[in-house]
Structure 1
Amino acid sequence: MKQLILTVSLIASVQAFGQSKKLNVLKVSTPQQLQQYFKYTGNDVPLISGHRGGPDKNAPENSIEAMANTLSFTPATFEIDPRLTKDSVVVLLHDDTLDRTTTGHGKLNSYTLEEVKKLKLKDVNGNVTPYQIPTLEEVIVWAKGKTVLILDKKDVPLSITAKLIKKHHAEAWVMITVHNAKEAKFYYDDNKDVMFEAFVKTKKALEEYEKAGIPWAQIMAYVGPQDKPENKEIFDLLHQRGVMCMISTAPIYDKLPTAEERAKAYVQIIKSGADVIEADRAIEAAAAVRSLAPAKSKKTKFFGKK
């Protein structure tokens, strides 16, 4: 009952946060539609994923408020970071400590959910906001019909993540980050509908996914954080298999000092062959690459307003 009250309270808070804003949503309601959304066709709209939920001023990382803020500007998926509390509840937090992004101190796993819910989140400038750390279940419930969540691997056992996706029948809007073919095979053997953001940085890694029998239709490939000529070989191999390729701009290009430099980098990444940009500055990245979208693409059917 306490968990239900927390969920209802959080959703009401987010509705108030974005009540005057229409959201740009992804119209994906089945696992097959999610596979089509990420299928490489050669005539695709550049896609945006908000790293750590796409944080911004007054919109803390790994919060529903940050995701709602991003969706008020652009459709996007969101990479988020599930971790366990002391009482084994899955919540969103990137670090294993609370200090950087919350009003708490010390290790997350020394706090119960009840204690975590008394804390407030800090935004990208370190300012304290009214917002709380959400549970993963709260985020899954909120995201349905709006966006797609991509769960990074932190300290949550693979079996718990798999169980949560099954509990909410969330295969259409919750994806899993896997670092290797072994992790992908665990999830795929458990659930044939699950979709992956898979680390495929090398030809060897590609061959390992194929050997494990993971369908390429259920993979969107993370190729790395750098736009470099050496990416072309892996881009070509993945595109031949109908797989979209993602570059994460968070470690390097999001940190460029001016908006102009960042925009130039985002555009070049797409022109170099990437199909998806995962950015801390998701709103900036979306604006920069919008003009690169083809005049006609079957992918536009997945974009809507709510």
Structure 2
Amino acid sequence: MGGDFRYNAHRITLSSVDELYRFLTYHEKRYPLISAHRGGPSKGFPENALETFENNFRQQPLIIECDVRTTQDGVLVLLHDETLDRTTTGSGKLQEIEFSALKKLKLKDPEGNITSYRIPTLDEALQWGAGKVIFTLDVKRDVSYAAVIDAIRRHKAEAYCVIITYSADQAAAVHQLAPTIMISASIQSPADLLRLNDHNIPDNRLVAFIGTREADKPLYDLLHGHGILCILGTMGNLDKQASVRGDTVYSNLVDRGADILSTDRPIDAGRALQAYRNKHKLTSSFIK
């Protein structure tokens, strides 16, 4: 990592949910960001681990996408899979194991190497992230939105949390439970936005996940016209393209309309976006 990439102004400091709305509302000088998919795992750093979050946060202003599941005794933890086998030294379904047993397990990095790191709770993550990052929380099917919202409120984390949803009905359920909390909604067509509007979800409560392929210009223009930022998932094909063709792939995606890149290559993509921000003299009062 080059010296130009490690810089001091990298905390996303939001003191209220109104500031979150302002930061995540589109305007011509919007500040494009990286979202580290599953926290941005790499060699020595497992997915959904606080140590991995810290490693990536030290490099750049960051959104962290992470996965929320629940143990048998109702403790909310960060884990992507239903089972423990792939990412931990344990085995079996998480829902069938009490939290006390998880404390004995260690996390594996993407290459399967055992680390000294352990499965964090959502509470620990929210406590760590205050004044540092924005979380987008992927709430798995076995977890109630109400439980996650309770945790967010307990930590007064509404100013730095966004809940991921996959349908207008899910978005409406979250909005009904917590009208102030921001929602990442799947919007890949004008009809998707209309369904959200029909549920009376205000535009300033939304960021749009437009999928893992670029949107066409009319969709970008529609969403930006509503003040809605667009998250493009580069994990998969677009990350592979960038690894082959060069990291300017990422800045080109932003040039064409993407606002947030959800990537498995946060360091490389982040370097490209920092160059883009420097070139276009993009700054934010919320980056400290």
- Using structure 2 for the length normalisation, give the TM-score: 0.92
State the Cα distance separating 1:33 from its structure 2 match.
0.8
More displaced 10-residue stretch of structure 1: 171-180 or 155-164: 155-164
- Which aligned pairs between 1:84-233 and structure 2 lie closer than 5 A? 84-154=70-140, 155-227=142-214, 231-233=216-218
Contact 2:146 2:177 in 1 (8 A): no
Give the 3-state SS of the residue equivalent to 1:140 in structure 2.
helix
Residue among 234, 255, 258 paired with 2:240 = 255
Q: Does residue 32 of the first structure (1) align with residue 7 of the second (2)?
A: no
Contact 2:134 2:161 in 1 (8 A): yes
Contact 1:54 1:280 in 2 (8 A): yes
State the Cα distance separating 1:262 from its structure 2 match.
5.0
Once residues 138 and 116 of structure 2 are traced to their aligned partners in structure 1, the CA distance between those partners, rounded to angstroms, is 25
Match for 1:211: what amino acid?
D
State the Cα distance separating 1:260 from its structure 2 match.
5.0
| 1:275 match | 259
Once residues 181 and 33 of structure 1 are traced to their aligned partners in structure 2, the CA distance between those partners, rounded to angstroms, is 25
Q: CA RMSD in A?
A: 1.8
Q: Deviations over 1:63-106 (max 9, x none)?
A: 11111000111110111000111111110111111111111112
Once residues 46 and 82 of structure 1 are traced to their aligned partners in structure 2, the CA distance between those partners, rounded to angstroms, is 25
Give the 3-state SS of the residue equivalent to 2:156 in structure 1.
coil
Q: How many residues align?
A: 280
| 2:222 match | 237
Q: Deviations over 1:39-84 (max 9, x none)?
A: 1101122211111011122111101111100011111011100011
Give the 3-state SS of the residue equivalent to 1:152 in structure 2.
strand
State the Cα distance separating 1:254 from its structure 2 match.
2.4
| 2:3 match | none
- In structure 2, runs of 5+ residues without a counterpart are 1-6
Give the 3-state SS of the residue equivalent to 2:54 in structure 1.
helix
Once residues 22 and 131 of structure 1 are traced to their aligned partners in structure 2, the CA distance between those partners, rounded to angstroms, is 26
| 1:266 match | 250
Contact 1:91 1:133 in 2 (8 A): yes
Match for 1:194: what amino acid?
I
Going from structure 1 to structure 2, the CA distance change for 1:109 and 1:23 (only over 3 Å counts) comes to: farther
Contact 1:48 1:278 in 2 (8 A): yes
State the Cα distance separating 1:23 from its structure 2 match.
8.3
Give the 3-state SS of the residue equivalent to 1:197 in structure 2.
strand
Once residues 287 and 122 of structure 2 are traced to their aligned partners in structure 1, the CA distance between those partners, rounded to angstroms, is 24
Going from structure 1 to structure 2, the CA distance change for 1:61 and 1:22 (only over 3 Å counts) comes to: farther
State the Cα distance separating 1:196 from its structure 2 match.
1.1
- In structure 1, runs of 5+ residues without a counterpart are 1-20
Give the 3-state SS of the residue equivalent to 1:214 in structure 2.
coil
Give the 3-state SS of the residue equivalent to 2:210 in structure 1.
strand
| 1:10 match | none
State the Cα distance separating 1:166 from its structure 2 match.
2.1
State the Cα distance separating 1:270 from its structure 2 match.
1.1
Once residues 173 and 284 of structure 2 are traced to their aligned partners in structure 1, the CA distance between those partners, rounded to angstroms, is 33
- Using structure 1 for the length normalisation, give the TM-score: 0.87
State the Cα distance separating 1:22 from its structure 2 match.
6.9
State the Cα distance separating 1:217 from its structure 2 match.
0.8
Once residues 162 and 91 of structure 1 are traced to their aligned partners in structure 2, the CA distance between those partners, rounded to angstroms, is 14
Once residues 31 and 295 of structure 1 are traced to their aligned partners in structure 2, the CA distance between those partners, rounded to angstroms, is 27
Query: Hey, which bits of structure 1, 4+ residues long, moved more than 3 A?
Result: 294-297
More displaced 10-residue stretch of structure 1: 45-54 or 265-274: 265-274
